Homo-oligomer: A and B are copies of this chain.
Amino acid sequence: MTKREQSAKEATVADVARAAGVSKAQAARALGGYGAVSEQVLSLVIAAAEGLGYRPNQLAKSMTTGRSNSIGVVVGDIENAHFGLALRGISDEVRDAGYTVVLVNTDEDLANEVAAVQELLQQRVAGLIVAPCSSTDTSHLESAQAHGRAVVLFDRGVRGLALDTVRVDFADAALEVGRLLLDTGHRRIGYVSSQRVKAAYQRGMDLGLSPVADRVDGIERAFTEAGSEWDPALVKLNATSDDALAAACAELLDQAEPATAVVCSDSLIALRVLGQIKRRGLRIPEDISVVAYDDFAWTELIEPPLTVVAQPVYDMGREAARALLRRLGHRVPAEQLPLRAHLIERASVSAPTVSSTLPGR
């Protein structure tokens, strides 16, 4: 019986009130559970609501309270399992607090990101979780905060912006990667990332508060530590397209003194670099060693299993959500998730066969 009558129009508080024979205000209180309501009115209203198939209109609710029950999530590429998993963490955490997730994909494009933030702000989302694609152009994020909306940064930070930021500390793991490679005998170590920068990488270049900065720094520190000479030209950024990545690989692999090891900044990069390596008929690890960031299942199943740096992506998502909820005034259970990256050695790293480079150390 609850099925037919609502097809025409949704029942409203006023409808329920009329049916229950009480005032709109009382019905609203009973339904919303917020004022003082007598037992009798309560049951009357509940019954009427049931009968009418009443469903509260979130839009109206958000409108009056000025705050919606949804949070905006802005990522560069949902296709990337990294964000998929993080999104899951966010989603799981936020659901319990009664929020829904509005997702926007930016294709790692700043203009899209700015538009997305605008749009979400106009939708009056309660807060934003953003994986910013630039560490410098951030006026849209500041403006969001100025509007009184909570903003949490994810994956990448922005120096000088007083925003909660959830990111993994890669300092230790990155140093470990550098040491592993150096100890194994590598001197020409490539790094490939899709992070966008204006110019080619140079020593001391400011990469912002990005994981890439940590990771490149770790390698450099390992070199310094070992007293070896590091070639920053082997750091290839801007590998955002297949072509760009192919070019980067060409520069690393097809020169007189090729890289003997390559570090892949994420699993998508790794996938493509592996493709490039395969195309050239190079063997891993005999001809080239490979280390990748992000430990997804397939990295263990390929031949040889990949040496990777694992990071708690799901937990990062959860942690970002919790940070946001805290900002929104929710009392979030105090459990603090550890966000540490760690190296998992498998079989894609071995000594370079043709040690075309100087002895070192």
Contacts and interface: CB of A to CB of B under 8 A. Distances in A.
B146 A7 contact: yes
Contacts of A85: 79
A100 B56 CA distance: 22
A326 interface: no
Contacts of A278: 301
Contacts of A224: none
A78 B70 contact: no
Interface in A76-91: 77-81, 83-85, 87-88, 91
A58 B274 CA distance: 46
Interface stretch (A118-126, A127-135, A155-163, A167-175): A118-126
Contact of A147 (B6, B78, B80, B100): B6
A59 to B, nearest CB: 5
A300 B271 CA distance: 10
A68 interface: yes
A123 B58 contact: yes
Nearest to A8: B148
A242 B87 CA distance: 21
A238 interface: no
Q: Taking chain A's interface residues, is the majority helix, strand, or loop, or is none over half, making it mixed?
A: helix
Contact of A104 (B100, B123, B124, B146): B100
B103 A91 contact: yes
Nearest to A278: B301
B104 A91 contact: yes
Nearest to A68: B59
A70 B102 contact: yes
A141 to B, nearest CB: 13
> Counting chain B CB atoms within 10 Å of each CB, which of A58, A85, A300 scores highest?
A58
12 contacts: A6-B147, A10-B147, A55-B118, A59-B124, A78-B87, A81-B81, A91-B103, A92-B105, A100-B104, A100-B123, A275-B301, A303-B303
